[in-house]
């Protein structure tokens, strides 16, 4: 056990990201901006991030050691290594704690010049036992932002650019699924309270937490307001955003209670995890929240009794995804948790923002009420899907309405407000993921992402730069993964795995249907679950008992995504229902392999 450290005097100096960017991040800017609420009517792209050099106190690095290193497992070894590297660089380094991913959080001491910071980074980079070293960056919220207000929730039901949520509710409502909202915490609201379960306050820095203490089991949001230039010169002032509560309402506001708004997955539970406070929040706290939410262990934090199958992170900022954050996300996904993130509000390529650019996440762009990319939304090849994020510059009611609080600083009376932003788009997809997991509990994060993309519809409007697979369609997606197709008929399933050879002959998986009369329906549902590392190589056919074939999917060199998890509709009314049906799959190009996990027919 380590000897307790003597607490250092509070400091008000953030690592100058510019000082380490050249050495550490190849010149990538790392001032972290939230996808959080800008003033109503103002494009979120205009919500400028506070200068990195004048934010809240922090002088830390996140150091990931290779698994074979003693420092990867021993706190005393990591502490000794920090002291040794400090001596080499002529600085006072101090191991602070172990993150949930196993990385070490290292304090750099006070008043380091750019050259001194670079020397410290170089010491770690030259160590062959160090896998990565990244700054502990500051993050902020991403948004500009029977139920009596349901008629105002165009984002759920409008034909033009709504997400077509009501049609999914006959199949799933989110029951049995917990969604972790990693954000500003939760302020009490009667339209959410019944769906809130225990969370945690992960903010370790009291200057950020402004609740009088560090980490604890109370994720209550005391407000994140700040005075003029308190978060950096030129940042102005801001009232409290109650951002996490707005996000949570979109996902799981109580529904059919004759008040307020409807949540997308209104029978799901929300576990609020507080990581954002005054001026934002640090990567190190967010990393531990990701780890804990998904069932991982974080030193000093009790085990999570409400493990989340979906995580929503409507936060982020400039700079590509770091190894430290990626490691936490990979571990969470490995534990079976789907991670949904906001693409960002800078009207720029999301590849240059984190966690939007991380792998193994569903990165969400925002659309406006006409179905075009919202003016503020980030875009690009790392974006997976688009969802309603609103645009209040064209009218307040064109934003996203959800639960809030009227307090300008501390909590006051509960309220409902319109926000806009990719922070508002992301919880639409988190809510959809909860519906999917409720409909089919065995779905993996990869299958959830694949089904959302495959079932998306083309944007009703335009998106210059790329908005992923299109606009998410909740009804089609939930029907696809449940195999219901809206028919409510009898389902026949094959769960025998069949390997698909690379650039080889077609393989077949049979299902025998018996006990039916007459022909198959004109809307026969064919549910397919195929794992494959480049689905564009695949040709998929349904083979009827008499040998007739129905093409479900053709090969496409432009379809580079993984896996096929969707439901196809076939007019099989000319076919006798009884007999042996087959799913025929062929990989027609080289370099990728896969397997048929399962498939089903719903009559």
The pair of three-digit structure tokens given for residue 599, joined into one six-digit string: 């498939």
The catalytic residue among 147, 183, 473, 587 is 183
243 a catalytic residue = yes
List the beta strands (DSSP E) in 344-497. Answer: 353-354, 362-367, 385-388, 400-405, 414-419, 491-494
For 96, the 3-state DSSP assignment is strand
Q: Which residues of 81-119 are buried (b: 16+ CB within 10 A; e: fewer)?
A: bbeebbeebebebbbbbbbbbbbbbbbbbeebeeebbbb
423 a catalytic residue = yes
- Asked whether 200 and 273 are in contact (CB, 8 A), the reply is yes
- Taking the chain, what is the end-to-end CA distance rounded to the nearest angstrom? 63
- Asked whether 210 and 223 are in contact (CB, 8 A), the reply is yes
- Asked whether 49 and 318 are in contact (CB, 8 A), the reply is yes
**Interacting residues of 271 by C-beta distance below 8 A, sequence separation 6+:** 178, 179, 180, 181, 196, 197, 198, 199, 293, 304, 306, 308
**Angle in degrees, CA 373, 378, 381, rounded to 5:** 95
Q: Distance between CA atoms of 337 and 594, rounded to whole angstroms?
A: 22
**Burial class of residue 458, CB neighbours in 10 A (0-12, 13-18, 19+):** exposed
The catalytic residue among 241, 284, 423, 482 is 423
Strand pairing class (549-553; 385-388): unpaired
**Interacting residues of 406 by C-beta distance below 8 A, sequence separation 6+:** 412, 413, 414, 415
Going 266 to 268 to 274 to 279, the CA torsion angle's sign is negative
The catalytic residue among 189, 243, 428, 532 is 243
Residue 518 carries which DSSP code? Answer: S
Q: Distance between CA atoms of 62 and 137, rounded to whole angstroms?
A: 9
> Which of 69, 56, 218 lies closest to 138 in space, CA to CA?
56
Length of the chain: 603
189 a catalytic residue = no
Strand pairing class (549-553; 538-543): antiparallel
> Which of 436, 416, 101 lies closest to 260 in space, CA to CA?
416
DSSP calls for 150-216: GGG-HHHH-TTT----GGGTTT---TT-EEEEEES-B---TTTGGGB---EE----HHHH-SSSSSB
Helix-, strand-, coil-residue percentages of the chain, each rounded to 5? 25, 25, 50
DSSP calls for 329-372: HHHHHHTT-EEEEE--SSSSBGGGEETTT-TTSEEEEEE-TTSS
Which residues are bridge partners to 404 per DSSP?
Answer: 415
What positions carry a catalytic annotation?
Answer: 183, 243, 423
């Amino acid at each position: 056990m380590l000897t307790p450290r003597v607490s250092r005097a509070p400091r008000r100096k953030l690592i100058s990201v510019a000082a380490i960017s050249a050495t550490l991040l190849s010149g990538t800017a790392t001032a972290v901006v939230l996808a959080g609420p800008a003033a109503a009517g103002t494009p979120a792209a205009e919500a400028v991030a506070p200068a990195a050099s004048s934010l809240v106190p922090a002088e830390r690095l996140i150091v990931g050691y290779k698994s074979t290193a003693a420092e990867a497992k021993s706190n005393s070894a990591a502490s000794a290594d920090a002291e040794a590297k400090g001596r080499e660089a002529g600085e006072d380094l101090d191991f602070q704690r172990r993150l949930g991913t196993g990385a070490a959080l290292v304090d750099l001491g006070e008043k380091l010049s750019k050259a001194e910071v670079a020397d410290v980074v170089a010491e770690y980079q030259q160590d062959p036992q160090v896998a990565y070293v990244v700054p502990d960056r500051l993050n902020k919220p991403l948004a500009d932002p029977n139920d009596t207000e349901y008629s105002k929730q165009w984002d759920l039901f409008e034909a033009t650019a709504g997400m077509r949520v009501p049609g999914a509710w006959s199949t799933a409502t989110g029951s049995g699924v917990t969604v972790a909202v990693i954000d500003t915490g939760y302020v009490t609201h009667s339209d959410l309270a019944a769906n809130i379960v225990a969370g945690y306050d992960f903010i370790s820095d009291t200057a950020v937490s402004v609740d009088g203490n560090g980490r604890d089991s109370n994720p209550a949001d005391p407000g994140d307001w700040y005075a003029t230039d308190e978060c950096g010169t030129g940042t102005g002032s801001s009232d409290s955003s109650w951002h996490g509560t707005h996000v949570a309402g979109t996902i799981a506001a109580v529904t059919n209670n004759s008040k307020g708004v409807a949540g997308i997955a209104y029978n799901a539970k929300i576990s609020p995890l507080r990581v954002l406070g005054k001026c934002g929040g640090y990567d190190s706290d967010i990393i531990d929240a990701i780890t804990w939410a998904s069932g991982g262990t974080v030193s000093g934090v009790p085990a999570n009794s409400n493990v989340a199958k979906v995580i929503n992170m409507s936060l982020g900022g400039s700079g590509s995804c770091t190894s430290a954050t990626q490691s936490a996300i990979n571990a969470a996904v490995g534990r079976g948790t789907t991670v949904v993130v906001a693409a960002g509000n800078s009207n720029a390529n999301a590849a240059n923002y984190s966690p939007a650019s991380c792998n193994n996440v569903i990165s969400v762009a925002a659309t406006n009420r006409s179905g075009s990319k919202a003016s503020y939304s980030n875009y690009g090849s790392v974006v997976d899907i688009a969802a309603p994020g609103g645009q209040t510059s064209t009218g307040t009611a064109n934003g996203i309405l959800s639960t809030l609080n009227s307090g300008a600083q501390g909590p006051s009376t509960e309220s409902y407000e319109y926000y806009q932003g990719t922070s508002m788009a992301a919880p639409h997809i988190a809510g959809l993921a909860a519906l999917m997991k409720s409909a089919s509990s065995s779905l993996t994060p990869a299958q959830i992402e694949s089904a959302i993309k495959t079932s998306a519809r083309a944007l009703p409007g335009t998106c210059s730069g790329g908005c992923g697979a299109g606009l998410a369609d909740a009804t089609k997606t939930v029907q696809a993964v449940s195999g219901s197709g809206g028919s409510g008929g009898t389902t026949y399933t094959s769960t025998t795995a069949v390997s698909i050879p690379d650039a080889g002959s077609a393989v077949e998986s049979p299902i025998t249907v018996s006990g039916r009369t007459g022909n198959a329906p004109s809307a026969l549902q064919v549910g397919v679950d195929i794992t494959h590392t480049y689905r564009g190589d695949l040709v998929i056919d349904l083979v009827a008992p008499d040998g007739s074939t129905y093409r479900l999917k053709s090969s496409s060199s432009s379809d580079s995504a993984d896996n096929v998890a969707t439901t196809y509709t076939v007019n099989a009314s000319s076919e006798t229902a009884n007999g042996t049906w087959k799913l025929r799959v062929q990989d027609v190009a080289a370099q990728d392999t896969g397997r048929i996990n399962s498939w089903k027919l719903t009559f």
